[in-house]
Every structure is written in structure tokens, then in C-alpha cells.
Structure 1
Amino acid sequence: MKSSAIFTRAAAGALALGLSTAAFADTWRYAHEEFEGDVQDVYALAFKDYIEDNSEHTLEVYRFGELGESDDIMEQAQSGILEFVNQSPGFSGAWLPAAQIFFVPYLLPTDEQTVYEFFDESEAIHEMFPELYAEHGLELLKMYPEGEMVVTADEPVTSPAEFDNKKIRVMTNPLLSETYNAFGATPTPLPWGEVYGGLQTGVIDGQENPIFWIESGGLYEVSPNLIFTGHGWFVTASMANKEFFDSLSSDEQQMLREAADYAYGVTMEHIQGLADESLAKIQEASDEVTVTRLTDEQIQAFKERAPQVEEAYLEMTGEDGAMLLEQFKADLEAVQGN
């Protein structure tokens, strides 16, 4: 009888522990904007690994198209359907104007090491952006760069004059439209799902993306002229629904921050050399591809048009944008000084 009672109490204790664990073990959802194996997917899977290795929770990762396009997954994250979302300021710029700072051309340098150090150390990134995202119901976990922006077009371009009358696809981002207006092109907003077909049919004449995305999305097949203008980097952000994040214990919040730090480290290692690898794959796959790297003199012709985009940014964003831009430049100067 005694041993039976001990067994019963032990079994009840184990069941209670199991129920307690189950009660706190949730399945969370994370959606991003890219395909399997792309940079955001690398980040998401590293984030997932850390969470599942360090908690009882599991994380489901959804890739481009599985829950809709960028605007769809952001709406789901802000409404609480998704716990986590990854979205570029290229899309969030419509509702968070200050985030369009990444589309002021020639603000970020093209030197990889300088860019990495900037994202590691920037006060604008680590202190100012979280406050801006919080105002829209989002907890900013990490902002990170994916790669230098490369333009593809129906023919090589080396000057603003050669962009004349070219319809260049842009994200739903007012400042990016200002950039291509300044460059002499005709900016044409288009959802990502329509870009390949738009290039194929001539609805648009070109687009911009980091080179790995041009390769993985097959854009070079219908837009084979690659133009390295040196005007900026593609940047993205990993976020949590703020109400969900605030409901977690301090330990769980810390675990998620550590997961974001871990995923960031994995991702930064992944993108080193990725552009060269992607370009090599493109050139191996197609004999029609041309690569145009603008000279310093050619770049200068585009740089001379950048101030009008910066002015437009300040008009769109007011005091928030002015403060962010000032800090952004100070952070860059500090990194470049080092």
C-alpha cells in the first residue's frame, strides 16, 4: 500500500509537471519576405533554433507567399495573428516615414566592414528605432543589412541621362520613388509577386535588389543587365508584436533578445562573400548577363542628385526624421573615424 501510494503521488506529480510545462510551452509564428535559404530565412531559422534550444516553445517559420506579401504579414503581426515578423523599411516606410532613411542614396557606404560596424554600434539603430517601432505596436528585435543594392535593367546604364523614361520598379515607399525621380527614371510601384512578369512583358524596364535576391528570384533571366551604382544597402528588421512581447516574463523577453543577437551573428557571417557567390552563379547560368560597375566619376553624377532626396526625406518626416538623420550621420562618422 505504501509503495502504491508513493507511486501514485509520483505519477500525479509528473502529470502536474507535464501539464504545467505544456501550459507554458507555446507555438509561436514568424513570417518573413524571402525564399528558403535567403538571408531572412537564415536569420529566422537561427532565431528558431535558439528559441527551441533554450525554451519549451516552438517556432513556425513562414516564407514569402505562404501568408501573403509584405503588407499582409505586417498586418497580421500588428493584429497579433503572428508573434514575429520580418519586414524591410522599404515597405514599412509608408506607415513609419522615418524608416525611409535607408533610401537616402549614398548615405550608407558600400564598404562591407564599415556597414557591419555601423549596425553593431549605431545609436540610431539601437536606441532611436526601437522607440519609433513601439509607437506602431511593434517590439524591434534587430535591424540588419542584407546586401548592397544592385539595379537591373533592359540595357546597361552609366548616367542619369540613360535612366530617362525607364520604368524602374520600386517598393511602396515614397522616398524610393524620390530617389529614382532624382536619378532620372520613372519610379513604378509594384508588388514583388508581379516583378518577374512585369520585367518579362515590359511593364517595367528594371528594378533594384541585393544580388542574392536577383539570383534566387531569377530576375537576371528577364532583366540581364546588372548595374552597381553604389547607392545603398538593403536593410530589414525583425520585430515582435509588442502586446505579445510585453506579456512575456522578463526571462522570456531576455531569451528572445538573446535569440535575436544569435540570429544576427549567424546572418552577418552568412552574408560575407554572399554577393560574390551570387554573381558567380548568375554569370554561370546566363551568357546574356552584363555587369556594369560605375566609376567614381559616373557615381558622382548620381551623388550630385542625392541632396534633393535627403531634402524630401526631411519634408516627409519632420522633427523625428531630422533627429534620426543627424544621429545617423554622427554614427557613421564615428565608425568611419575608427
Structure 2
Amino acid sequence: MKKFLALVLIAAAVAFLPSHASAVTKMKLAYVVPEAQSTHVAAAKFFKPYVEQHTDGEIIVELYPNGQLGGDRQVIEAVGLGTIHMTIPAVAVLSGFDPHFQVFDLPFLFKSRQEAYDALDGELGTKLNELLPPLGIKNLAYAENGFRMITNNRGPVTKPADLKGLKIRTMENPIHMATFRALGANPTPMSFGELYTALQQKTVDAEENPIPLIYTSKFYEVQKYCSLSGHVYAATALLVNDDWFNSLPEKHQKVLQDAAKIYRTEQRKISAQQDKEMIESLKKNGMIVNEITPSEKKAFSAATAVVYKEFADMVKGGQELIDLAKK
């Protein structure tokens, strides 16, 4: 009888447990950049705490910086398959999954950060986001790596002729490669993880990246000159596995979307601030930094105009995307 009574009491207690009690999900968020770079800083300071607090700890965000779980392409594939929940890659890498994303990589497309934000957060960004669910991915927001700059060991770059014959590492991105070919350089694609060693061993003479990546990767140890070309604005995207996101309760979906918007705003601020501070730090570490003036940029724009035609011909609806970006 006592045993029966104990079982009844246990059953009653279970019945009164809150129905929303759910298992804790450990959400893996992976990216290639180091801890000092704005992507990680904002993820640790804003995205992770917001998600954990507003889901009452039902989603715990585990951060994997430094390419711990693989390069951008590998991790995007893993998010599509659902083996990793989220990633924040360079948008340029998405062009390997859908060529329409190459529109962001067109040279000298945006003159300022604000122009880029208007395009990314507006019609252009929305149109491109619609291409991702068939890949098993959803984009929650666009953030940034910033404008890409050229570093090399030969001398300051102020005109296209300064790049002639220069073996420059680029991403595996057709538009980036076409841009440097148009400028007379010899583009050599390789993964970011191999780049420092390649510069050290002089496998390549030059590279191009946003300032925070140049500084946090200590490229000043193996490169003498940094030219502020701003030839491409590099966006990032907060990608989540589409099925997993859709399986979450609506309240948790909203938390992730809100957290992504906060992350976007704060990360962009940190990125812009890091650009200023890190240019000064590059100089202190012995790098010779030169501006490329707006009038000097005209020669670069003219030399790379052919890339716009190539993109428009190569990608269905390419001209429409170019027009949206410029608008």
C-alpha cells in the first residue's frame, strides 16, 4: 500500500511540472576569425549573453573561433547539413554555393560603409537571403569584415601598374580573381589558414584582407606595405541551419532574430573602431601604410569595369542585382 501511495505521489508531482520545461540545446557557433576580431568580440559580448538570457538558458551558445571546426566553406556545408547550428562566414564564400552572392564582391561598388549597410539591410540583402533555404540555411543578419586592403612586400600601391605581375593570395572567389587579373596581378587562391605561412615562405608576395584580419593575423610580421585600397566591401552573414531554426518554438526563433540584429549593430560599430585603431597599430609595428585617394581610385575603377560585364553575363539576373546594389 505504501509503495502504491508513493507511486501516486510521484505521478502527481510529475503532472504538475511546468509543460514548457525542455532540454537544454548547446548551440555550436563557429567562424574562422581569431578572438580579437570584431566577429568574435560581438558574438561573445552581445549575441551569446542575449540568447542565453532570453531563452532562460534553454539555448547555450558555444563559440568556436579560429577555424576550430574548419574553414568558412566547410562550416557553411556543416550548417547546411545540420552538424553545426550556426556560422558567421565571409559572404564572399557563399558565392561558391550560389553565384548571385558575387555581386557583393564587385570592385569599388560601395564608396562608404553606409552605402553597403543600405544595400545589405535593404532590397538586395532580402533578395539574396531567399536563395539560402534550398541550401538548408537561413541568414539572420548581415554584419561585416570591412573594406579589403592590399598588403605586399614590393612597395606602396597607388596605381594599377603597381600590381603588375604581383602574386597575390585571394579567396577562392571568381570575382576577386577576375578583379586582380584585370589589374595585372597574378591571383592565387588559398585558404585563410594557410596564408601566414605562404607569406612567410614567399609562396605569394601579397594578400588582401580587411584591416582587423591583417592586424590580428600579424601579417605585419611578413608584409611591409599596406595600401588602403578599399577595393571590396566584405560582408559577413549570420547563418543558421534552416530546419533546426524552424523546429524551435516561435519565442526562441524571435530571440535568435533579435539577438542577430543587436549583434549586427554592435559588431559594425566595433569593426569601424577597430579599423581606425588597428591602422595605427600596423604603423607602430613597422608597416608603411598609404591611402589611395578618390582620384587615384578612378584608374582602378576603370581597369576593373570589365569585371561588372563579366558578372552580368555570367549570372542570370546579374545586371538586376548590380542595379539594386548601386541604387
CA distance in 2, matches of 1:11, 1:281: 65
CA distance in 2, matches of 1:118, 1:102: 10
Identity of paired residues, percent?
29
What amino acid does structure 2 have at the position aligned with 1:97?
Answer: P
CA contact (8 A) 1:129 1:140 kept: no
Residue in structure 1 matched with residue 30 of structure 2 by the alignment: 31
What amino acid does structure 2 have at the position aligned with 1:281?
Answer: S
Structure 1 position 328 matched with structure 2 position 325: yes
Deviation, 1:162, is 1.7
**Number of residues of Structure 1 aligned to a counterpart in Structure 2:** 319
Residue in structure 2 matched with residue 302 of structure 1 by the alignment: 300
Q: SS of the residue aligned with 1:209?
A: strand
Mapping 1:169-180, distance limit 5 Å: 169-180=169-180
Q: Deviations over 1:23-67 (max 9, x none)?
A: 3x2111111121113122123222211110101211111112311
CA distance in 2, matches of 1:214, 1:54: 35
CA distance in 2, matches of 1:165, 1:94: 26
Structure 1: state its 5+ residue gaps.
Answer: 331-338
CA contact (8 A) 1:230 1:299 kept: no
CA distance in 2, matches of 1:54, 1:236: 24
Residue in structure 2 matched with residue 333 of structure 1 by the alignment: none
Q: Deviations over 1:300-334 (max 9, x none)?
A: 11110222111111222122x2332222222xxxx
Residue in structure 2 matched with residue 129 of structure 1 by the alignment: 128
Q: SS of the residue aligned with 1:147?
A: strand
Q: Deviations over 1:78-132 (max 9, x none)?
A: 11101111111222211211111111111111x3344444444x2111x202101
Change (3 A) 1:268 1:30: same
CA contact (8 A) 1:33 1:40 kept: no
**TM-score, normalization by structure 2:** 0.90
Q: Deviations over 1:235-276 (max 9, x none)?
A: 111111111112222222212111111111221221232211
Q: SS of the residue aligned with 2:316?
A: helix
Deviation, 1:15, is 8.4
Structure 2: state its 5+ residue gaps.
Answer: none
Residue in structure 2 matched with residue 336 of structure 1 by the alignment: none
CA distance in 1, matches of 2:72, 2:272: 26
CA distance in 1, matches of 2:113, 2:91: 20
What amino acid does structure 2 have at the position aligned with 1:290?
Answer: I
Residue in structure 2 matched with residue 197 of structure 1 by the alignment: 197
CA distance in 2, matches of 1:317, 1:118: 19
CA distance in 2, matches of 1:119, 1:89: 11
Mapping 1:47-58, distance limit 5 Å: 47-55=47-55, 56-58=58-60
Residue in structure 2 matched with residue 73 of structure 1 by the alignment: 75
CA distance in 1, matches of 2:238, 2:309: 28
CA contact (8 A) 1:150 1:209 kept: yes
CA contact (8 A) 2:146 2:272 kept: no
What amino acid does structure 2 have at the position aligned with 1:314?
Answer: A
**TM-score, normalization by structure 1:** 0.88
CA distance in 2, matches of 1:225, 1:283: 10
CA distance in 1, matches of 2:71, 2:254: 30
Deviation, 1:165, is 0.9
Residue in structure 2 matched with residue 225 of structure 1 by the alignment: 225
Mapping 1:244-263, distance limit 5 Å: 244-263=244-263
- Which has the larger helix fraction? 1
Q: SS of the residue aligned with 1:140?
A: strand
CA distance in 2, matches of 1:269, 1:293: 22
Residue in structure 1 matched with residue 152 of structure 2 by the alignment: 153
Residue in structure 2 matched with residue 112 of structure 1 by the alignment: 113
Give the root-mean-square deviation of aligned CA atoms. Answer: 2.3
CA contact (8 A) 2:30 2:67 kept: no
CA distance in 2, matches of 1:306, 1:165: 16
- 1:316 counterpart (314, 317, 320): 314
Deviation, 1:146, is 2.5
CA distance in 2, matches of 1:34, 1:233: 17
CA distance in 1, matches of 2:65, 2:137: 20
